[in-house]
A and B are shown apart, each in its own frame.
Chain A
Amino acid sequence: MARRALLLGFYSIGGQVLLLRELVASLNGDELFISTALFGWLAAVAVGAYLGGRQRSGPHWLFLPAAILLPIMILATRFSPSLTGHMVGEAIPFAAAALISIAAMLPVGLISGWLFPAITRQHMETQTSIVRVYLVEGIGAFVGGAAIVYLVGEWLSGLQMALVISILMVAVEYVPYGRSGIHKLRRILITLIVLPSTIFLATYLETYLTDLQYRPFSVLDSFDTHYGRQTILGQAGQQVLLSDNNFEAVSADLNTAENLLIPGLLYHPSATRVLYIGRLEYGVAELAAKLPGLSLVGLDPRPGLLASYGDTVAQPAIEFDMVMSDPVTFFASPESRRSRPSDVIGFAVDFQSAYRRSGATGTGGRSEEFDIIVLNAGDLGSYKASRLITATFLENAKQACSGVFILLTRYDTDSHISAEKQRPLATIYRLLRASFAHVDVWPGATTLFIASDVVPVEMLPYDTIITRLDSLEYESHFVSADYLPDRLSSFKRQRLLAAVGGTAGENSLDRPELIHQHLLYRSDVRSVDRHLLSFIAYESTWTVLIAAVIILSFLVVSLLGKPRRFGLFLFFTAGAASLSLELIMFYTFQSLAGALYSQMAMLIGAFMLGLAVGTFLSSLIKGRFCGYAALVIMLILSVALRVTWESWALDAEYANRLFLAHLIFLFVVAAATGALFVAATRHYYGGETKANRGIGYAYEIAGSSVAALFTTAVLLPVIGLNWLLTGIAVLIALALAGFIVRR
Chain B
Amino acid sequence: MNRRTFIRCVGCGAAAAAAQSGLLPEFLGGVQNAMAFDYTKKLSSVEARHYKKKPDGGIECGICPRHCFVTDLERGYCGVRENRDDTYYTLVYGLSCAVNIDPIEKKPLFHFYPGTTAFSIATAGCNVNCKFCQNWEISQVRPEQVDNLDLPPKALVDVCRQRKVPTIAYTYSEPVIFYEYMYDTAELGHRSGVKSVMITGGYIEKQPLAELLPHLDAVKVDLKAIREAYYRDVVGGELQPVLDRLIQMKESGVWLELVYLVVPTLNDTEQEFRDLARWVKTYLGADTPLHFSRFFPQYLLKNLPPTPQRTLETAHSVCRAEGLEYVYLGNLRGHPSESTYCPGCGKIVVGRRGYTIYEYNLKGNLCRFCEKHIPGLF
Question: Which residues from chain A sit less than 8 Å from chain B, CB to CB?
Answer: 28, 87-91, 93, 216-217, 233, 235-238, 240, 242, 245-247, 250, 253, 255, 412, 414-416, 418-421, 445, 477-478, 480-483, 485-486, 489, 491-492, 524-525, 530-531, 534-535, 538-539, 542, 556-557, 560-561
The reply to whether B304 and A531 form a contact with Cβ atoms under 8 Å apart is no
In the A-B complex, the 6 residue pairs with the smallest Cβ-Cβ separation, listed nearest first, are: A482-B354, A89-B304, A236-B308, A416-B98, A240-B305, A236-B310
Contact indicator A539/B310 (Cβ below 8 Å)? no
- B305 neighbours in A (Cβ, 8 Å): 89, 233, 235, 238, 240, 247, 250
Which chain A residues border B296 with CB–CB below 8 Å?
445
Closest chain A CB from B244 CB (angstroms): 27
Please report the C-alpha to C-alpha distance between residue A524 and residue B133 in the assembled complex, in whole angstroms. 13
A357–B264 CA distance with the chains assembled, in angstroms:
39
In the complex, what's the smallest C-beta–C-beta distance from A536 to chain B, in angstroms?
9
Which residues of chain A are near B334, meaning CB under 8 Å? 477
B308/A235 in contact, CB under 8 A: yes
Whole-angstrom distance from the CB of B245 to the nearest CB of chain A?
A: 25
B interface bracket (residues with beta carbon within 8 Å of A): 35 or more
Q: Which of B31, B106, B264 is the one whose CB lies under 8 Å from A539? A: B31
Are B355 and A89 closer than 8 Å at their CB atoms?
no
Given contacts A236-B308, A525-B140, contact A28 B303 (CB under 8 A): yes
Q: Which residue of A lies closest to B331 (CB)?
A: A255
Contact B100 A236 (CB under 8 A): no
B301 near A: Cβ within 8 Å? Answer: yes
Given contacts A525-B300, A557-B3, 9 further A-B contacts (CB under 8 A): A89-B301, A89-B304, A250-B306, A482-B333, A482-B355, A482-B356, A483-B355, A525-B140, A539-B31
Chain A residues closer than 8 Å to B297, beta-carbon distance: 89, 247
A88/B265 contact (C-beta < 8 A), A419-B147, A480-B333 known:
yes
Q: Quick check: A247 and B304 within 8 Å, CB to CB?
A: yes
Establish whether residues A525 and B299, one from each chain, have CB atoms under 8 Å apart when the complex forms: yes
Chain B nearest Cβ from A466, distance in angstroms: 12
Asked if B172 is at the interface (CB within 8 A of a chain A CB), the reply is yes
CA distance A671 to B120 in the complex (A): 64
Contacts between the two chains (Cβ within 8 Å), count: 146
Nearest Cβ in chain B — how far from A88, in angstroms? 6
Chain B contacts with A in 80-134, Cβ cutoff 8 A: 97-98, 100-103, 106, 120, 122, 131, 134
**CB of B278, distance to nearest CB on chain A (Å):** 22
Q: Which among A245, A421, A485 is the interface contact of B137 at CB below 8 angstroms?
A: A421
CA distance A445 to B265 in the complex (A): 23
Q: Are B265 and A91 in contact (CB-based, < 8 A)?
A: no
Nearest CB of A to B175, in Å? 14
Q: What's the least CB distance linking A348 to chain B, in Å?
A: 26
Q: How far is the CA of A525 from the CA of B334 in the complex (A)?
A: 35
- Nearest opposing residue in chain B for A542, CB measure: B30
Residues of A within 8 A of B122 (CB): 415-416
Interface centre among B297, B303, B354 (most CB of A within 10 A): B303
Interchain Cβ contacts under 8 Å between A and B, 25 examples: A28-B303, A87-B266, A90-B131, A90-B300, A90-B301, A91-B303, A217-B265, A233-B305, A235-B311, A236-B310, A242-B303, A247-B304, A415-B122, A415-B172, A416-B122, A418-B146, A482-B354, A486-B103, A486-B106, A486-B355, A524-B145, A525-B299, A535-B34, A539-B30, A542-B31
Q: Which B127-166 residues have a C-beta within 8 angstroms of A?
A: 131, 134-138, 140-141, 145-147
Q: Do B308 and A238 have beta carbons less than 8 Å apart? A: yes
**Given A419-B147, A524-B141, A560-B3: A91 and B301 interface contact (C-beta under 8 Å):** yes
Structural contact, A492 and B100, CB atoms closer than 8 A: yes
Q: Are A531 and B34 in contact (CB under 8 A)?
A: yes
The CA-CA distance from A216 to B30 in the complex, in Å, is 47
- Knowing A91-B301, A483-B333, A560-B6, say if A418 contacts B356 (CB, 8 Å): no
- A255: B residues at CB distance < 8 A: 306, 331
B34 close to A538 (CB less than 8 A): yes
Which residues does chain A contribute within 8 Å of B6, judged by CB atoms? 560
